[in-house]
Structure 1
Amino acid sequence: KTLCDVILMVQERKIPAHRVVLAAASHFFNLMFTTNMLESKSFEVELKDAEPDIIEQLVEFAYTARISVNSNNVQSLLDAANQYQIEPVKKMCVDFLKEQVDASNCL
């Protein structure tokens, strides 16, 4: 939380972060913070239609390059990683789903 320069507002949850870290991990945030979008100058940025727990995991990934993908969160993580353009998380989710497919559960 030290020297955080942005707060992500996700529903009622406030998630502190550093713009440079988010921008490095996400093309979406890079564009948001480096163009003339209103959010580039706002201290608080509201992420609508997002799940707080999922956004917290993505922010933690931006700092640590680690994330836990499992059957409970893979769909939500994949959707959010796609929306916020976090390619490594998308790949981890797709790889996880590929590992889960076998003759008994595919169409």
Structure 2
Amino acid sequence: MMNSMGRKYEDNEDRLRILKKSFIKMFEKETLADFVIKIDDETINTHRCVLAQNSEVFKRMLGQNMIEAKIGEIKIVDCSIDCFRAMLEFFYSGEIEINTFEKLGEDLYAIADKYEVVTLKEVCEQYMAMSIKFFAISFV
């Protein structure tokens, strides 16, 4: 199969990599962003559909007549900007960097739990389990 520029797609992994890059770019460039996250004095522009697809809490909030849905923004008071941004990066890429876990692991798990992001909770649990095993092995 050829893409619009005449480049042949090698396989599904290639297509998935291209799709992932386009989602990351959409987040980074804030392309057609339609929702604002405010944390302290900073803002993150994002997409309602991405929030709702990845978080049951956002799905309920944005699918109902809640004030946040009407005005297109929410103020987050119990999470750092770095932690929330890491969760959003997971929404757009499906991945979390190891160094992000090392810095924000417990906080990331807590926010994933609060916003009912099941896949991120599972990834955090796996990382924490590996960390415990590594810690235990290093003492043997």
| TM-score, shorter chain, exceeding 0.5 | yes
**Rg larger for:** 2
Matches within 5 A, 1:29-68: 29-68=58-97
**2:36 counterpart letter in structure 1:** I
Q: CA deviation at 1:36?
A: 1.7
What secondary structure is seen at the aligned counterpart in 2 of 1:15? strand
- Residue number among 47, 56, 60 corresponding to 1:27 in the alignment: 56
Q: Higher relative CO (CA 8 A, sep ≥ 6), structure 1 or 2? A: 1
Contact 1:7 1:17 in 2 (8 A): yes
Among 74, 79, 93, the residue aligned to 2:105:
74
**Structure 1 runs, 4 residues or longer, greater than 6 Å off:** none
8 Å CA contact 1:5, 1:17 repeated in 2? yes
Q: What's the CA shift string for 1:31-90, capped at 9, x where partnerless?
A: 110012111111221112111001111111111111124232110100111111111110
Distance 2:107 2:36 in 1: 21
CA drift of 1:104 comes to: 6.8
Q: Aligned-pair RMSD on alpha carbons?
A: 1.6
Amino acid of the structure 2 residue aligned with 1:91: E
Partner of 1:92: 123
Q: Percent identity?
A: 28
CA-CA distance at 1:100 after TM superposition = 1.8
CA deviations 1:8-42 (Å, max 9, x no partner) are: 00111100001001100111110110012111111
For structure 2, list consecutive stretches of 5 or more residues without a partner in the other structure. Answer: 1-29
Q: Does 1:3 align with 2:21?
A: no
Instruction: Give 3-state SS (helix, strand or coil) of 1:101's partner.
Output: helix
TM-score of the aligned structures, taking structure 2 as reference length? 0.69
CA distance in 1, matches of 2:102, 2:50: 27
